[in-house]
Structure 1
Amino acid sequence: MNRRQLQLGAAAAAVWLIAPMASAQNWPDKPVKLILSQPAGSGPDAVARLIGDQLSRKWGQPIIVENRPGGQNAIGAQAAAKAAPDGYTFYFATAAALVTNVYLFKNLPYDPQKNFTPVGMIGKVPFALSVNASSKLRSLQEFVNHAKANPGKLTVANEGPKTFSGMVTRLLAADVAIDVNSVPFSSVAAAVTDTVGGQTEALVSDVPSIAQMVAAGKLRPLAVTTGKRIAGWDNVPAVSETLPGFDYSGWMGIVAPAGTPAPAVQRFNRDLDAVLKDKGMADRLLAIGPVTEGAGTVDQMAAYLAAEHRRWAKLANDLSILPE
């Protein structure tokens, strides 16, 4: 009897071990939720839905985009961090949610380094310094000279001190040793409108938010904040051409709640990479936001996040930025 019980127990254990493997091979066998910290109709929302549509076709399962905006990404990030790590909930994250918030906010309701496991990169979102098209400023050097001649008076619109555009404004000013009047706005759309209208002299924003106004001849980009010039804006110099090493861009990526089964993470990563490396998809994404080079591997995503944390921790220390 004991031997038979042992045999039955071993058989049950084998079935228990095989079951997760079998389910992993069939993943996903039900809808997958993608939580987003931005509202419907935003740039990240458009990117998430475009990618979700392609993955849904591959998987034969719907991708449900759940918008949880507010709290400087904290509401959506917290919801994703507390979701069941069963392979059916993922988080469409930004640089702010996974990195910079740590150095700007004292009491985050989630820990981006402990609560999430990396899945893959979506792409980087270039930012730019621009001015009203009627401005006399036609280059980064002229912008710097004007700021130095008028310390504290040159107005630069952005989305606020605890946002990526606000941080880039501060970093640029520090690196070229100028004092500007950083003007916070509730949204990038409002900042663009006031700069076009002449209420503010300059603007730091993501490139997709100003592309239409640049094309219409209402804004003039002086420089992009990426490490090199970007496609389609080849005549716009990079800040790094004046300040070697200056390379700041927003980015988007996918993470999962910590403890999510590795097979689901790897499958998501592999299929995301295939979607992003499609030329047509890359072009469609570029038109609304990120510049993509594929998802990379899970390990590459983890290494990138670790490097970003080291970089922003140093910057926060160098600029005496204290979380509030």
Structure 2
Amino acid sequence: MQRRDFARAAMLIPLAGAGLVRAQAAWPQRPVRFVLSQPAGSGPDILARYMGDQLARRWNQPVVIDNKPGGQNVIGAQAAARSAPDGYTFYYATTAAMVTNAYTFKSLPYDPVKDFVPVRLVGRSPFVIAAAANFPGKNLKEALALAKAEPGSVTIATEGPKTFSGMLADSVASMAGVRLNHVPYTKAPDALQDVIGGRVQLVCLPDAALTAYLKAGQVRALAVSTAQRQPGMPDVPSLSETFPGFDYAGWNGLFAPAGTPADVIARVNRDVEAVLLQPEVAQRLQVLGSQPEQHMSVPEFDAFMRAERERWAKLVKQLGIQPE
């Protein structure tokens, strides 16, 4: 009897292993959460909700967007970092939270490198320098000329001097030898309303946050931050046309809390890629101001992040920004 029981148990081991594989393959078995550091209606929020809807169809589970804005992305990043690494919480992050904050804060309550695992780059988002419809400068050259003629008189709405948009504005001002007067905002719609109302003259924000306002003619695009002109704005010059070699774009992507199962990370990476390869999705993301990154493995995203940290470390040093 003992020999028969042993043989029966031995036969069941492969079946148990197959059952474990089936259980792992069944992910997700409940809603998946995307934590965001930005408020509802912001550019990253619009992109995250669209991607969440697409992935929810593949997963047959809802993707819940959890907005935790404030503190220059610190609140949302910290919340995501402290989430259980069970494969059901991801951080839909931007450049600021995962790269530039490390160089502009003396200390952070989260570690962008140690607390997170790169999952998938979704897209690169060019930033746009735009002006109020009644701004006298018709192009970037004229806007910078006005700023040079009256130092500090030209105001620009950004997310703050130590955010991506703020550092981009300061980079342009530094290269042009002018000074722009920052007016920081925590919400893009508030900044745009002040620009439209004539209380601020210029604005530097992600393309996604400006798209609707540009189409409505409420603001005028003066330049995009990338090396080439963007397909959705072929008539808008790139900053590299004024400053050769200049090429800076923000990006958005998914990260997981450290310790998240590798098989789940690989699954999400593959599913995001499958979604981005759909022509209608790629076209929609471009309309929303994000150039989709259609091919990128987990190791490639990890290498991309290392390069980004090196690039921004150099820029922060060039601008003389001191962490606070």
Common topology (TM > 0.5): yes
Equivalence for 2:3: none
Instruction: Give the unaligned 5+ runs of structure 2.
Output: 1-5
Amino acid at match of 1:192: L
Partner SS state of residue 144, structure 2: helix
CA distance in 2, matches of 1:188, 1:180: 19
CA distance in 2 between partners of 1:318 and 1:10 (Å): 66
Question: Corresponding residue for 1:61?
Answer: 61
Q: 1:146-185 residue pairs with structure 2 within 5 A?
A: 146-185=146-185
**How far apart, CA to CA, are the structure 2 residues paired with 1:196 and 1:175?**
27
| Residue identity in the other structure for 1:89 | T
Deviation at 1:99, TM superposition (A): 0.7
8 Å CA contact retained: 2:49, 2:65: yes
**Counterparts of 1:46 and 1:185 in 2: how far apart (Å)?**
18
Moved more, 209-218 or 260-269: 209-218
Identify the residue that residue 239 of structure 1 maps to in structure 2. Answer: 239
Contact 1:120 1:295 in 2 (8 A): no
Partner letter of residue 233 of structure 2?
A: W
Give the corresponding residue for 1:318.
Answer: 318
Instruction: Look up the equivalent residue of 1:227 and give its one-letter code.
Output: A
Alpha-carbon offset, residue 202 of structure 1: 1.7
- Matched residue, 1:3: none
Hey, what's the Cα distance between the residues in 1 that align with 2:77 and 2:11?
Answer: 41
What residue number does 1:303 align with? 303
Q: Tell me what 1:109 maps to.
A: 109
Aligned residue for 1:32? 32
Structure 1 distance, partners of 2:152, 2:319, is: 18
Distance 1:73 1:195 in 2: 23
In structure 2, relative to structure 1, the CA distance for the partners of 1:68 and 1:213 (3 Å cut) is closer
User: Whole-Å Cα distance in 2 between the matches of residues 9 and 111 of structure 1?
Assistant: 47
Determine the C-alpha separation between the residues in 1 that align with 2:102 and 2:49: 27
Q: Which moved more, 1:275-284 or 1:135-144?
A: 135-144
What percent of counterpart residues are identical? 47
Contact conserved, 1:154 with 1:181, CA < 8 A, in 2? yes
Shift of 1:108: 1.1
The 8 Å contact of residues 277 and 293 in structure 1, kept in 2 or not, is answered as no
Cα gap change, 1:217 to 1:46, in 2 (>3 Å)? closer
Q: Are residues 1:43 and 2:43 paired?
A: yes
CA deviation profile, 1:70-103 (whole Å, cap 9, x unmatched): 2222122112112222222211111111111111
Which one-letter code corresponds to 1:281 in the other structure? V
Cα deviation for residue 162 of structure 1 reads 2.6
Taking structure 1 as reference, are residues 11 and 79 closer, same or farther at Cα in structure 2, changes over 3 Å only?
farther
- Work out the number of aligned pairs and report it: 321
TM-score (normalised: structure 2)? 0.89
Q: Is 1:89 matched with 2:80?
A: no
1:295 Cα deviation after fit: 5.4
Matched-pair contact (CA < 8 Å) for 2:116–2:255? yes
For the aligned residues, what is the CA RMSD? Answer: 2.7
TM alignment of 1:172-211, pairs within 5 A:
172-211=172-211
For 1:179-219, what per-residue CA distance to the aligned partner results, in whole angstroms no more than 9, with x for missing partners? 22222234222222222222222221222333333223332
- Measured in 1, the distance between the counterparts of 2:71 and 2:9 equals 50
Q: 1:102 to 1:197 in 2, by over 3 A?
A: same
Q: Deviations over 1:200-254 (max 9, x none)?
A: 2222122233333322333221111112101121011100112122112221100
CA contact (8 A) 1:269 1:295 kept: no
Partner residue of 1:118? 118
Q: For residues 109 and 278 of structure 1, do their structure 2 counterparts lie closer, same or farther at Cα, with a shift above 3 Å needed?
A: same
Question: Structure 1's 173 and 9: CA in aligned 2 closer, same or farther, altered over 3 A?
Answer: farther
213 and 23 in structure 1: CA distance in 2 versus 1, 3 angstrom threshold = same
- Tell me the residue number matched to 2:279: 279
Residues of 1 paired with 2:8 and 2:105: CA distance?
54
State whether residues 42 and 187 of structure 2, in contact with CA within 8 Å, keep that contact through their aligned partners in structure 1.
no
What displacement does 1:264 show?
A: 0.8
Question: 1: distance between equivalents of 2:10 and 2:75?
Answer: 45
**Cα distance, 1:10 vs. partner?**
10
- SS of aligned partner of 1:71: coil
Q: Specify the alignment match of 1:75 in structure 2.
A: 75
**Kindly tell me: are residues 83 and 9 of structure 1, through their superposed partners in 2, closer, same or farther at Cα, counting changes over 3 Å?**
farther
Distance 1:193 1:37 in 2: 21
- Provide the rounded CA distance (Å) in 2 between the counterparts of 1:140 and 1:41: 28
Give distance in 1, aligned partners of 2:118 and 2:171.
Answer: 27
The answer (yes or no) to whether the contact 1:122–1:295 under 8 Å persists in 2 is no
- Cα distance in 2 for partners of 1:308, 1:91 equals 18
CA shift, 1:56, in A, is: 1.8
The whole-number CA distance in structure 1 between the counterparts of 2:33 and 2:39 is 16
Structure 1 unaligned blocks of 5 or more:
1-5
